[in-house]
């Protein structure tokens, strides 16, 4: 069943606040194998001009995934989650994420298109801090494989 194109432009407001912690940043950096001291050493981060340790660029996948899943699991959209694969991901930052940030994400269905028997869903996320200032814009493209794929 094809995705419902009327979902383009639909926005999903944040349903929680994500508090960025030093330990979560350290765990994420270890999981991706990045030993950059800015991710683990508060003194190194402060010496570089940051208020605390900063997160690797892909760290926001942690909150972005939950937001994407909320859209993918919306029964009105018609997405068969068992046929979905991740196609692309991008992050555009206005500033680095650091320990102590309190972040919220609003997601919007930016595009739905069909090509070669597959559906492509593009989702944009606007991540803001506790002051409502934009920290990052995320984009993810999901591919829902067609029946013959």
Average pLDDT over residues 2-27: 94
Angle of CA points 109, 122, 3, to nearest 5°: 75
Residue 70 has pLDDT above 70, yes or no: yes
Show the tokens assigned to 3: 């995705």
Residue 74's pLDDT is what? Answer: 87
pLDDT tens, position by position, 113-123: 999 889 999 99
pLDDT at 81: 84
What's the confidence (pLDDT) of residue 4?
86
**Residue range 101-111: mean pLDDT, rounded:** 97
Q: With 70 as the cut, is the pLDDT of residue 1 above it?
A: no
Please say if the pLDDT value at position 89 is more than 80: yes
**CA separation, residue 82 to residues 5, 86, 147 (Å):** 20, 12, 11
Domains of the chain: 5-20+57-145 (3.10.129.10)
Give the strand pairing for 84-93 and 102-115. Answer: unpaired
Lowest pLDDT segment from 51-55, 84-88, 139-143? 84-88
**Nearest partner of 60 among 96, 35, 30, judged by Cα:** 96
| Cβ count near 57 (within 10 Å) | 14
CA–CA distance, 48 with 106 (Å, rounded to integer): 30
Q: What's the pLDDT score for residue 68?
A: 87
Of the chain, the percentage scoring pLDDT greater than 90 comes to: 71
pLDDT at 84: 87
pLDDT band at 106 (very low <50, low <70, confident <90, very high): very high
Neighbours of 14 (CB within 10 A): 17
Q: What's the predicted TM-score (pTM) here?
A: 0.90
Other CB atoms within 10 A of residue 63 CB: 22
């Amino acid at each position: 069943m094809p995705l419902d194109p009327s979902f383009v432009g639909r926005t999903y407001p944040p349903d929680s606040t994500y508090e960025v912690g030093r330990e979560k940043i350290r765990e994420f950096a270890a999981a991706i194998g990045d030993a950059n001291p800015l991710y683990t050493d508060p003194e190194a981060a402060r010496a570089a001009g940051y208020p605390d340790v900063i997160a690797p660029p892909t760290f926001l996948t942690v909150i972005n995934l939950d937001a994407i899943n909320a859209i993918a699991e919306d029964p009105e959209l018609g997405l068969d989650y068992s046929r979905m694969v991740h196609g692309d991901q991008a992050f555009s930052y206005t500033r680095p994420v650091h320990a102590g940030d309190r972040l919220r994400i609003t997601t919007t269905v930016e595009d739905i298109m069909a090509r070669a028997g597959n559906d492509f869903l593009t989702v944009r996320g606007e991540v803001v801090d506790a002051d409502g200032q934009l920290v990052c814009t995320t984009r993810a493209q999901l591919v829902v494989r067609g029946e013959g794929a």
